[in-house]
Structure 1
Amino acid sequence: MKYEQSTAASISEQEKTFRTYISNDPALSHFLETGATQQNARFAKEAIYRDLTFLAFISPYFHEVYVNAVINAFDQRETSLMSDIAMNTILLDDTHRKQAFHDILVYLEQKEAMLASFHAKLLMQEFVDIPALTEHTNMTTIANLNYLPGEFLEFRCAYARAIMKVINSLVNRNLQIATIMITDLRQLTVDMQTANDVKALYQRLNDADQEASAIDSSYGYSGTYDNSGSSGYSGSAGYSGNFDNSGGSDGSIGRVLLGIVIIIAIIIITIFGRFSSGNSGYHSSGSYHYHRSYRPSYHPSDHPSYHPSYRRGRR
């Protein structure tokens, strides 16, 4: 139901009073009429805003714009909009509050279902659009989830578990992106048990990343991944880093395999060299012996002048 200013004479005095309060509150009237917020604008602190009769009047109008504004903040990846919504009072009675939260939850469960779809594709070794995946896990989404009221804590925990499933399936394919995802997930407000599970997974991936970096260093590779605080994101637009998901293999794992192949090649060359030396005609019990080439010894009798017939002919 869209809120509009009314000057009809038929409305009750009570409704006129309510509408007067709304008209005198620029932030509230702007939100009700446009569905948008003014940056850092707060609703007035009026005692009547807690009155059950006033809430019953405003709830049908506030419910629609509130739900749409929250959904738009997620769709447009706008944390500033969610921040402005969160810092203002939710002017809904109990019935409309439950209905509004249900409507938002239905929308959020669709995002959770997308995570389940990505998880299934990863398990089946199918192609996964990484930028599309990270739209559901990046810091903008995490921040907007945190801005939601406490009633959404249970959903945040379920969403965190869905992301962890994706990370566990992604880690062998793309350790870099998996590390970014778990780093951002640590910022999500969840219960203690879920927070401990997220922390344990973060530590495991961090150890794996350091091990891969150490292997790269031992073979002279220089990594290009920087995880120093920024988490690899650029504002609300998603990841700023470029990454290649072609073939579904992680670069660090490929380098490890290359190192193994090099080691195997060295072993084969060494064995082949020893085999060749064993068949080269030199037989020895241990160390190599230098064999001099054969040179016949010279004796004076070998010269023609030594023979008597030669000397008689000379006379």
Structure 2
Amino acid sequence: MIQFINPVDILNLAATDLASIDDTVIKRAKKAALAEIDLSDDGFFHYHEQQLTRSDCERVINELEEHDKLEFYHFIANSPALNKFLINGDESFFTAFRHESIYKLPEFVKFISPYFAAAYDSALWKAWQQYTNPIDHIVAVDPIVVTDDMDNAYKSVRNDLNRKIEDIRELYAKVEDLEQEVNLKAIAAQADILLDKDRLNTLPPYFQDLRNTMVLATRKLAIQINNVRGDSAIGRQLVETLREVQTDGVTKEKLVKDYELLRNAEKHQADANDPVRIRYNELVAALTEVYKAASNPQSSVPGVRKWVDEHINIEEIKALDVKYHNIKIQLATKLGGLGAAIYKGHRERFAALDYIEMAEQIGVLEGEPLDMILDFRKILQQEIAELGVTPDDPHGINKKVIRDMIIIGTVIIIIVIFSKGCF
């Protein structure tokens, strides 16, 4: 760290009016300061816990021969918070900070820049290392430095972020290496700690490129956790954290797309392992085969009914959680299809009507599918009414037999009557 020594302090001229400080005043004060060194027990000038040699003092005192430097040193000496900050990094400078017009003077900024950059870097790094210590009060003050010294003002934190980026890349390599057994939750936790999103967001715009780089490195890790290790949930959680980091527009767009892809993959994985969903998906598949077979006139209507009674529980289906809504729709649709198949293959109107009513009872059909079901039910009811069929005589066979018997009986009576008439 570049050591700041204020010769105005050494000469004890801070309280002296700047306009009255000339070469004579400086020489007299210098003589007194050097005499103090000569008379000291250890041969040093004790300056804010520093031990300055005679040559150290002479070197900085000689700088006062330049009037601008005399003015700058005098201003700093009369700004205790700034003076202490430059000398030993006293952070009270940040809490007591106020804008001064001299801070905009290019010559002053150039003069103070190397000292301020070193002190600022030290203070920021100290706060950054203490994870429970906020850094807001430091980064709220822009470094009073020239452009060339800006990197020096943020050097330590910048180096730390670069190290963390490399650590995240090492985590990526571990995930990618399938020969290694890894704890993905532990990997994600490490990445989360390295990212340290809340404090990362408090850093000033200077760190935006590094912030983007860190986010993209972690994003790559999240994608790899899904692609290589097949855990979309952990990948999605990491991306969700990344979306809270301040990034540029392009990076934000990537994260939004990644999040949606990983969320869909996570849902697919959850669905694939959900025992309820597995069970009902199998039921939907089986019911599909049943209704396909039911349209065949050679199939058994009672056999179909027996299968439905054994496998379909309407009340249980109705009670399924809302996340299984799509399954309920599929089952209702298949039951409606079964009704149509029974009618097509066997003209079993009452059996078809039963399956239509089951589909309605599930209570999820709407729009065109529901309209089709209702229209089909009306057709069935109209045919039943017109044909005068009953559940016990679904095809009207008994009615036909009775009608035929009446006709035959009438014919016989007519024949008998006519026979008697002939005698």
- Output aligned runs, 1:289-308, within 5 Å: none
- When residues 178 and 105 of structure 1 are mapped into structure 2, their CA distance, relative to the original with a 3 A threshold, is same
Residues 113-152 of structure 1, C-alpha deviations (whole Å, 9 max, x = no match): 11111100111143365343322123234324xx223x43
Contact in 2 for aligned 1:115/1:162 (Cα 8 Å): yes
Which of 1 and 2 has higher RCO (CA within 8 Å, sep 6+)? Answer: 1
- Output aligned runs, 1:1-315, within 5 Å: 1-5=2-6, 6-8=9-11, 9=30, 10=61, 11-12=63-64, 13-25=67-79, 27-35=81-89, 37-38=91-92, 41-77=95-131, 80-81=134-135, 83-101=136-154, 104-125=157-178, 126=180, 127=182, 129-130=186-187, 131-144=189-202, 147-149=203-205, 151-171=206-226, 172=229, 175-210=232-267, 219=275
Question: What count of residue pairs does the alignment treat as equivalent?
Answer: 225
Residues 17-45 of structure 1, C-alpha deviations (whole Å, 9 max, x = no match): 32343344455345334435349715221
Residues 214-270 of structure 1, C-alpha deviations (whole Å, 9 max, x = no match): 678x548xxxxxxxxxxxxxxxxxxxxxxxxxxxxxxxxxxxxxx87x99xx99xxx
In structure 1, distance between residues paired with 2:108 and 2:94: 24
In structure 2, distance between residues paired with 1:209 and 1:39: 50
- When residues 99 and 211 of structure 1 are mapped into structure 2, their CA distance, relative to the original with a 3 A threshold, is same
Amino-acid identity (%): 20
In structure 2, distance between residues paired with 1:26 and 1:3: 14
In structure 1, distance between residues paired with 2:250 and 2:90: 37
Residues 260-297 of structure 1, C-alpha deviations (whole Å, 9 max, x = no match): 7x99xx99xxxxxxxxxxxxxxxxxx98xxxxxxxxxx
Question: 1:86 is aligned with what amino acid?
Answer: V
In structure 2, distance between residues paired with 1:57 and 1:124: 53
Query: Higher mean Cα deviation, 58-67 or 172-181?
Result: 172-181
Q: Secondary structure at the match of 1:166?
A: helix
- When residues 90 and 193 of structure 1 are mapped into structure 2, their CA distance, relative to the original with a 3 A threshold, is same
Contact in 2 for aligned 1:42/1:87 (Cα 8 Å): no
Q: CA deviation at 1:16?
A: 4.0
Q: CA deviation at 1:103?
A: 6.0
C-alpha RMSD of matched pairs (Å): 3.7
- When residues 173 and 103 of structure 1 are mapped into structure 2, their CA distance, relative to the original with a 3 A threshold, is same
Question: 1:63 is aligned with what amino acid?
Answer: A
Contact in 1 for aligned 2:113/2:149 (Cα 8 Å): yes
In structure 2, distance between residues paired with 1:23 and 1:79: 29
Q: Using structure 1 for the length normalisation, give the TM-score.
A: 0.58
Q: CA deviation at 1:185?
A: 1.3
Query: Higher mean Cα deviation, 43-52 or 174-183?
Result: 174-183
Q: Using structure 2 for the length normalisation, give the TM-score.
A: 0.45
Q: CA deviation at 1:88?
A: 0.7
- When residues 16 and 180 of structure 1 are mapped into structure 2, their CA distance, relative to the original with a 3 A threshold, is farther
In structure 2, distance between residues paired with 1:47 and 1:165: 47
In structure 2, distance between residues paired with 1:60 and 1:208: 53
Q: CA deviation at 1:174?
A: 5.2
- When residues 79 and 135 of structure 1 are mapped into structure 2, their CA distance, relative to the original with a 3 A threshold, is same
- When residues 206 and 70 of structure 1 are mapped into structure 2, their CA distance, relative to the original with a 3 A threshold, is farther
In structure 2, distance between residues paired with 1:39 and 1:50: 18
Question: Between Structure 1 and Structure 2, which shows a larger proportion of helix residues?
Answer: 2
In structure 1, distance between residues paired with 2:261 and 2:215: 17
Question: 1:152 is aligned with what amino acid?
Answer: F
Query: Higher mean Cα deviation, 167-176 or 49-58?
Result: 167-176
Bigger Rg, which one: 2
Corresponding residue number in structure 1 for 2:360: none
User: Which stretches in structure 2 are left out of the alignment for 5+ residues?
Assistant: 12-29, 31-60, 284-301, 304-423
Question: 2:91 is aligned with what amino acid?
Answer: T
Query: Higher mean Cα deviation, 3-12 or 59-68?
Result: 3-12
Q: CA deviation at 1:52?
A: 1.8
- When residues 77 and 96 of structure 1 are mapped into structure 2, their CA distance, relative to the original with a 3 A threshold, is same
